[in-house]
Amino acid sequence: MARQSPQRPDADEPELDDTDAAAAADEVEEDRPPADRALWEEVRIDPVEIALPSGTGFTLRAYRQARELTPTDVAERDQDDPFLARRQVVETEDDEEVVILDEEFAALSAEEDDEDEEKDAKARRKDKAGASDDEKAEAEAETEDDAEDEDEDDEAGDEEVPVFLTHKGRLLLFKTPESLVTFIRSGAPNDLSQLDSWNELSERLEPADIAPLDEDTYELDLVVENLRGGHDAWDHELLIEAGEIARDLAYALRLPAVLDMLSSGSSLDDLDEALRASVNGGVGGFLGRRRLKKIGAQTASLGWRTIVGKISAVVDWRD
């Protein structure tokens, strides 16, 4: 049988040059369906991409009720921090050891001393004249206060809080999806492994699944420079998203200084509220833009430089 020669393209069909080929490839990329989100929705965990001055990396984040989580252990991290204030170890009534800052210890000790003196005074009054009607009313009020405190604790336990792929007080960031998946499959210790859906994720996860949504992509590396550009150059969406991820990281990584800088009533919280108001339009947007004009660009940039620096200091980069 005679061997057939390969078919040649029709002479009338134009050949694609390099530019056309690149454009065609881009079209294929755009037409490619997004990564399957079914797995992430089932396990209630999301991939996150964070850009810092030292690089960009992938990690994971979830939200769970506070009562379901054990916070990351920061003891080893804090021992390595030469600038951290000296700490005290206090034994509680349950023979547990609680580590607190010197300032907190002094305040706690003074509060306990005041409570002890008050209890002694009450005991002396009772010995002299027995329990008076006022004391009975006070005792009832204290009982009600204790019940309210328990209710507040229950509400705090029901609050949904963030938890990241962390270990011993450090955020694990991976430079490639492949390295992140390899770590998860390895069974290495981390704070997300306490979630009931972790085993399912580790068994099913593939590198192609590490495709963070736009709302889960944060550019902390651009925040300081953007703020330095002045009010007219501020990227509202960039700064609002930076505040969201910084608060989540500060809570999950137990960074009280960052939480305080972003707390309600702080200058950076005022900036965040003004930014949010300005993007809403209408009268609120007008008032928000007026408030932004009163916020110092230098103060804001210095504050955010501190925040980004503190977050960067507790990152554990993984290749």
Write down the mean pLDDT value for the chain. Answer: 79
Q: What percent of the chain has pLDDT over 70?
A: 64
43 residue type, one letter = V
Strands 97-101 and 87-91, by their bridges, are antiparallel
Helix or strand or coil: residue 266? coil
Render pLDDT for 150-181 as a digit per residue (tens, 0 to 9). Answer: 555 556 558 999 999 999 999 999 999 999 99
**For residue 165, what are its two tokens?**
């792929």
pLDDT digits (tens, 9 = 90+) for 69-80: 999 999 999 887
> Which pTM was predicted?
0.69
DSSP state of 210: -
Residues 6+ away with beta carbon under 8 Å from 164:
48, 59, 60, 61, 171, 172, 191, 192, 248, 249, 252, 253
